[in-house]
Amino acid sequence: MPTNVTSPSLQGRAGSGSSFKYFPHTADDIQQMLDVIGVRSLDDLYAEIPEEIKLHRELNLPSEKSEEEVRCIIQQLAAQNKPLVCFAGAGSYDHYTPSVVPFLASRSEFSTSYTPYQAEISQGTLQYIFEYQTLMADLTGMDISNASMYDGSTATAEAMMMMVAAAKKRNRVLITKTIQPAVLAVVRTYAKFHGVDLVEVDEKDGTMDKDVARQLIEKDDVAGLIVCQPNRYGIVEDLTGLADLCHEHKALMAVNTMASALAVLKTPGEWRADIACGDAQSLGIPMGYGGPYIGYLCTKEALVRKMPGRLVGATTDADGRRTFVLTMQAREQHIRREKATSNICTAQGFMCLYVAAYLSLMGPKGMQEVNELSYASAHYLHDALLKTGKFEEVFKGPFLNEFTLRVKGDAKVLREALAEKGYLLGVPTLFMPGCLTIASTERRNRQEIDNMVELIKEMAL
């Protein structure tokens, strides 16, 4: 509703005679509420809002439509999207989602109350969150997982806050510059407004400069170190000895990882990290033009009370039957709000169900196969692009399903020309002009790769 509308003008807009059938309050209801708080009109209620940011006109909404008309409009809008064969990643990956996953997610027993405060009527929701937690703890090699986060960026920022909360008197956190730029931007924002001294560790040859990290940690004023695996260039970094170094100097270590890669790479638990965080979109969640996604946050048991969000546990009811309950919620809405660890209070419930169903269906063998196919596809594409003579290596590090190459020519022209032919080649590598970070998953086959490579060979850059 426009903020410049006064209560008298609402007379024709609300109530049973109004064309706005879904307004919950009549004009009398609104006036009674205004009387209670001592305000004459809605204009007075919003008086503190500057006039220049108010709308001062009616909302540009069409007249009411039938269901069929609405469907047609939406279909016309959707038809404007141009589907491309995706060879892009940078945190969002085009993995296959088994058809049974959305079917399970639509089942009514899993669509109970989104916020499961009343366990007796929320068993479906609590069960899949419990299964999600169990699967993610196993995948990361950690003791405990919370009931998911908004996305990988906020999960990493929350890991930073956990480090500061655990350290008590230390306020400095190190983070590698080789982490995804979008993640780094969110962590910077959290650090700024929580007063955290965030120090970004420089990179060397496409990986974090471990010597610089060591020097900073040895100053004994660091609460924790955030590293990533694989990094923003797709390189699988060697994290050997970093956790031991952190622990020797009473600091914590967090590893940000693309979730799918944990099926074949060394887990954060195996690196002896204290916290695992990142985005779980790669676990069966469609790319969806950027979301919604889901962040995961797992930790060792010693840090469980520093973890934000909620934890679901299993117990038995009065009849001895297995049931699920909210075990712990370290949240600001509750009694100890002054000691709350975070403002995070909501799990990505529906996405949580997707991940739980995907991991249950795939199992360890299926997850390994996904990564083996992605690895083979990405390495085949990498070699094929170099053979065109129009690309060159940037880094020599090992990679799983994503890599960075420099285009010998205009990278923007190349991407736009390929998009016209139906292919999305990589993501421009920030701060590295002419470079593309390119990904390939199990969904990409050799015919798609060969067809795109042939087009590249014919292009003048």
What's the CATH number where 291 sits? 3.40.640.10
Provide the residue range defining the domain that includes 129: 100-359
The proportion of the chain whose per-residue pLDDT surpasses 90, expressed as a percent, equals 74
> pLDDT tier at 332 (50, 70, 90 boundaries)?
very low
Contact (CB, 8 A) for 362 and 339: no
* Residues 58, 140 share a domain: no
The pLDDT of residue 361 is 96
Residue 78, in any domain of the structure: no
The pLDDT of residue 7 is 36
What's the CATH number where 444 sits? 3.90.1150.10
The pLDDT of residue 106 is 87
* Residues 106, 255 share a domain: yes
* Domain final residue pick, 324, 359, 394: 359
> pLDDT tier at 420 (50, 70, 90 boundaries)?
very high
Contact (CB, 8 A) for 257 and 232: no
Cα–Cα–Cα angle for 419, 422, 424, rounded to 5 degrees: 50
DSSP string, 343-395: S-----HHHHHHHHHHHHHHHHHHHHHHHHHHHHHHHHHHHHHHHTTSEEES-
Spell 388-403 as b/e; 16+ CB within 10 A means b: eebbeebbebebbbbb
Asked if pLDDT for residue 2 goes beyond 60, the answer is no
User: Does an H or E element contain 45, and which?
Assistant: helix 42-45
The pLDDT of residue 350 is 87
* Residues 368, 335 share a domain: no
Residue 50, in any domain of the structure: yes
* Residues 430, 451 share a domain: yes
What's the pLDDT tens digit per position in 161-201? 999 999 989 999 999 999 999 999 999 999 999 999 999 99
- Total number of domains in the chain: 3
Asked if pLDDT for residue 99 goes beyond 90, the answer is yes
Residue 335, in any domain of the structure: yes
Listed range (31-45, 168-182, 385-399) with the worst mean pLDDT: 31-45
CA distance linking residue 319 with residue 236, whole number of Å: 51
Listed range (178-182, 217-221, 291-295, 425-429) with the worst mean pLDDT: 291-295
* Residues 126, 251 share a domain: yes
The pLDDT of residue 334 is 55
Determine the average pLDDT of the residues in 335-364: 82
Asked if pLDDT for residue 17 goes beyond 70, the answer is no
* Residues 113, 133 share a domain: yes
Residue of higher predicted confidence among 311 and 435: 435
Asked if pLDDT for residue 23 goes beyond 80, the answer is no
Residue of higher predicted confidence among 296 and 15: 296
> pLDDT tier at 8 (50, 70, 90 boundaries)?
very low
Residue 79, in any domain of the structure: no
Residue 416, in any domain of the structure: yes
Asked if pLDDT for residue 6 goes beyond 70, the answer is no
* Residues 350, 377 share a domain: no
* Residues 210, 118 share a domain: yes
* Residues 159, 303 share a domain: yes
* Residues 89, 12 share a domain: no
